[in-house]
Structure 1
Amino acid sequence: MAEDTIFLDLRGLNCPLPVMKTRKHLKRMEKGDQLLVEATDPMSAIDIPHMCQEDGHVLIDVKMVGDVRQFKIEC
């Protein structure tokens, strides 16, 4: 398991790119690794949690920081 959370900046990308890039990145990670995704696309609020549920990842936290939505995901 990684000691640090990996950061993925997807700000400015529109649907379906945030969920596609998140899924691609998670496939390269090991079980237990954590990924912090930042996205500005409003659909990411639906798409990323749904992708986590479909693919068996743990959505640890979702929060808004200004106009950026942050998703903390465990692989």
Structure 2
Amino acid sequence: MRVTFKDYGFFVPTDAHGAFVVMEGVGSIQTTDVATLRHYAEDAGASEEEIAKITADKEELSFEAHGVIVKTAKS
């Protein structure tokens, strides 16, 4: 699932992978076009070869968060 943040108003720490989160917002099914998928792959550091293999749009669950709580071991 791709999570974006309303008006880019906040971000989640990059080391939050695997953490339990509580999100408030709106979910929907979105179709992401090839150009955008390639852009995401480039941003993620994919090789030219990997990027070239992206040839079809992708339908995926999307979520626009209005608020997020990241639970850590201490919270």
Per the TM superposition, whether the score is higher than 0.5 is no
Q: If the length of structure 1 is used for normalisation, what is the TM-score?
A: 0.27
In terms of fraction of residues, the more strand-rich structure is 2
Structure number with greater CO (CA < 8 Å, separation at least 6) is 2
Q: Highest Rg: 1 or 2?
A: 2
